[in-house]
Structures are given as structure tokens and as C-alpha cells.
Amino acid sequence: MTDHVAVQHELEEKSARLLRVAKTAGVAGVLLGTHHNIAWITGGRSNRVDASREAGTARLLFTADGRRRVLANAIEMPRLVEEVLAGLDFEPIEYPWTDDQDPGFAVATARKTIGDSSPLGADWPLPDTVPLEGVIARARALLTDSEIERYRALGRDAGRTLGNVCRTLTPGDQEVEIARAVVHAVAGVRARAIVTLVGSDERLRRYRHPVATAARWKHVVMLALCAERDGLVVSLSRIVAAGAAPRDLDTRTQATATVFGRLLDATRPGATGAQLFTVASNAYTAAGFPGEEQKHHQGGAIGYRAREWVAHPRSAEVVQPRQAFAWNPTITGSKIEDTALLIDDRIDVITSTPDWPAIPLNTRDRPLSASGVWRLN
């Protein structure tokens, strides 16, 4: 199957899912405008110009009769038609850029286009629309074969790239310079670093989300990355140690790995977010670190957002049989984080770093491992 045919097939499958969402919601059509949903439904095409905004200027309109339209101003339409949406059979509806200043213009244009006074659904807050992001997120969860292939490739690239940066580190490097190196390296594999955290020494022990500062690391540094390519996101963390690293670093990392392993084992179709949170809580207690689950979220489903949902005591979200997960258990001063794919009843870590210290996990089906601590000579 050629790339174009595969993308067209993916678009048709996802359009059908979206129309089922529209029918259930009782709306005449759905407007998509957020970057993650447009990337999802188009097989990884991008609507991103201004990365500071959740939505782009274009809207994709899907109606009950199966027609697809792109609504965009005269600035964006030529590029969208000729590059972004080329070959995907979207009917263009162009308007002056000045009309974008009216927040209700896209909705009015969509209604005029389809000639139906029924409600419209949208994935972004727009006047006179039914909010549908929650149900669209569930429609996104089930990965297609093409998405799984893209996900595995991104995971390989991200794991290798972050590991390569880690191997260049020298005590005394500034956290901000390490973060810059990560961003640059990720761009080299055609991805975008949407989260880059670097925390060292005392900052690593104090903060669970250590945004990089001018501090220079001496003994331990953690790098955390969320990388996005073609809309899909992977999440991973690595720890590097040198010299007089804390004596309990390995103990805490090994304990954190047992929580990670328990979560991987429990990530099975039909499990709920609440059940998975309980698994994590019990695993911390069994490892001798009760209560650590209260100090940071444990992760959850990942996909076209860094977390599609997070496991917590009241979560009713349900694990799907073809879905991605990023678990990130953490015990003060250490962390394990990688992205995994669940395909039916088999789970595989896809962001492993080649030749990285591995912590064997006692998983039920077959041997898996977690990323350990890289120690500089």
C-alpha cells in the first residue's frame, strides 16, 4: 500500500468514527480546529503555524452526508490545499482573513455551507456549538495499523536520541544548555520537543517537574522529554549519575521500576484508570515507599496529546485494545518513564534506549525492562 493510499484509508476510517460521534451527539456536522485532532484525522498532517495556540486558523468540517470541507482564510488556503491536504479530497471554502476576527464566523460559514439549522459540534470552544472534545478523544484512542507503525518509528528515534544526548553530558553542564541540546537533537529526527525538563541534584529531589535553570549539575541529572512527530507524542525520562551520587539512588530507581512493571502488567483492555491508580498505590507500598503516588501523577494514556488521560482514583476511562500508554512512576529523587504500545493483550515498550542500563521487570507474560541509571566513567 502506497503512503498516499494508506493516508486516504486512514482518513476514511477516522471520518467514519467522527460521523458516529456526530450521530450520537445529534449534531449536523463537526468542526475540527485543534492541532492534535487535525493531525489525527489526516494521518499526521499539520495545521500548525502559531505553536502558542491550541487551534490553527483552519477548520475541517465533516457532515453527515460524508462530505469534507476545509474552512480557511485567504492567507492559509493555498498552502493547505496544495501541501497539507493535497490528495485528501477536502472541498475548500475560503474567506478574507479579516473575517477570522469574528469568533462566530466559522460557525456561521459552516451552517451556511451545509444548509442545516441543527446544532454543530466542535472540538474547540466556539459560539453556538456542542463541545465534543471528550468523545472525540475516545474515538482517537484506537490506533490504526499506520499509526502503530509511525509510533514505533518515533519511539525508536526518541529513545536513541535522548540517550545520545545523555552520553555527551559532563558534570558542570548547565541544565538550560542540556535542555537546548535535547531540543536540537529531537529536531534532527524531524520531531518537536513539546516538554523538556532537566533537573539536577537537590532540584531533582525537590521538584517533580524541574524546568531547566542555570544550575550546573554535579552528581545526578534527569532529562524528561515529550516528543511529537506527525501529531503522535512519546514520553520518556533518563537519569545520568557521576561521582558522589546519592547512595540510595539505585535503591529508589529499582523500587520505582517495580511500580512501572506493575503498571505495564495491569495495562490490559478493559482496565479503568481508577484500577490502574490502585495498582500503582499498592506497588509503592509493596516497594517500601507508601504514599509516593500522592506526590505526582503516574501517567496514563498517550497519543495525540502528551497525556490523553491520567490514572487517578475517580477515573472511569477504559483501556482500549490498541492504545499507547506512558507511565511515569517516581520516588523522590528518581523516576522511570517510557512509552508503551498495547496491541490486544501484548504490551511493548517502544522508547527504549539501545545499550542503556536495564532493570529487569517481573512481568507476567515475558521479560520486559525499565531504563536504569547511566553512570559516567
Domains and CATH numbers, the chain: 3-141 (3.40.350.10), 145-375 (3.90.230.10)
CB-CB contact of 257 with 361 (8 Å): yes
Question: What is the percent of the chain where pLDDT is above 90?
Answer: 87
pLDDT tops 90 at residue 282? yes
pLDDT tops 70 at residue 18? yes
Q: Look up the pTM and report it.
A: 0.96
Encode pLDDT of 88-106 as tens digits: 999 999 999 999 888 788 8
Determine the pLDDT at residue 362: 86
| Mean pLDDT rounded to a whole number for the chain | 95
pLDDT tops 60 at residue 77? yes
244 pLDDT tier (thresholds 50, 70, 90)? confident
Encode pLDDT of 311-336 as tens digits: 999 999 999 999 999 999 999 999 99
Determine the pLDDT at residue 1: 47
Q: Is 15 helix (H, G, I), strand (E, B) or coil?
A: helix
Determine the pLDDT at residue 2: 54
Say which residue, 54 or 304, is predicted with more confidence.
304
User: Exposed, middle or buried, 126 (CB in 10 Å: 0-12/13-18/19+)?
Assistant: buried
Q: What is the 3-state secondary structure (H, E, C) of 73-128?
A: ECCCHHHHHHHHCCCCCCEEEEECHHHHHCCCHHHHHHHHHHCCCCCEEECCCCCC
| Half-sphere exposure in the Cβ direction for 327 (13 Å, CA) | 28
Q: Report the distance separating Cα 279 and Cα 251, nearest Å.
A: 20
**Cα separation values, 334 from 114, 252, 271, 292, Å:** 55, 6, 27, 11
